[in-house]
Amino acid sequence: MQILITAERIQQRLDELAVEIKQHYQGQPLTIVGVLTGCLMFLADLVRRLDMPIRLALVQASSYRGAVTRPGELRVRTDLLPDLRGRHVLLLDDILDTGRTLVPLVEQLRAMEPASLRVGVLLHKEGRQELPLKPDYCGFHIPDLFVIGYGLDYNDEYRQLPYVAVLPMPSSSTDLA
């Protein structure tokens, strides 16, 4: 596999993002909502760098299921979320690809009346976005490649890799099923 972003570079960038987040919120209490399951590595490593009052929450949202590399129908479970009314909220996801996951999630969270809502992503894939959304915090801009590692998966595998790598694709789409 071709490593696109090394483990060391990811950790360095998380240090930088933590500084940006701390400067923005200036010690105000923050609720960080992570999008399961891909955000877990990003969320865990980032919050350890934030010395400020934090609540953690998780939401389940997925448009990729099984051995596919193209998004399908979005399924969202917000029943794990606490009351966000009047709270500063940071929504964290592993990747902004088409926007078909994050844009509806942002709309749902806004309806919960937070004091503020910002979005952070580890990766922003260039050239694939179909719905408008500019993340407030972005780890890396990447080309239109299917990537795995550091929380990102293919068929629920590879999440544990400490780096982001390009998944070698089979020669035909029938090999993906």
Listing DSSP states for 26-61 in one string gives TT--EEEEEEETTTHHHHHHHHTT--S-EEEEEEEE
Alpha carbon distance 150, 8 (integer Å): 12
DSSP reduced 3-state for 122: strand
Alpha carbon distance 140, 125 (integer Å): 9
Write down the catalytic residue from 45, 97, 153, 156.
97
Catalytic (active site) residue 51: no
Catalytic residue positions, numbered: 97
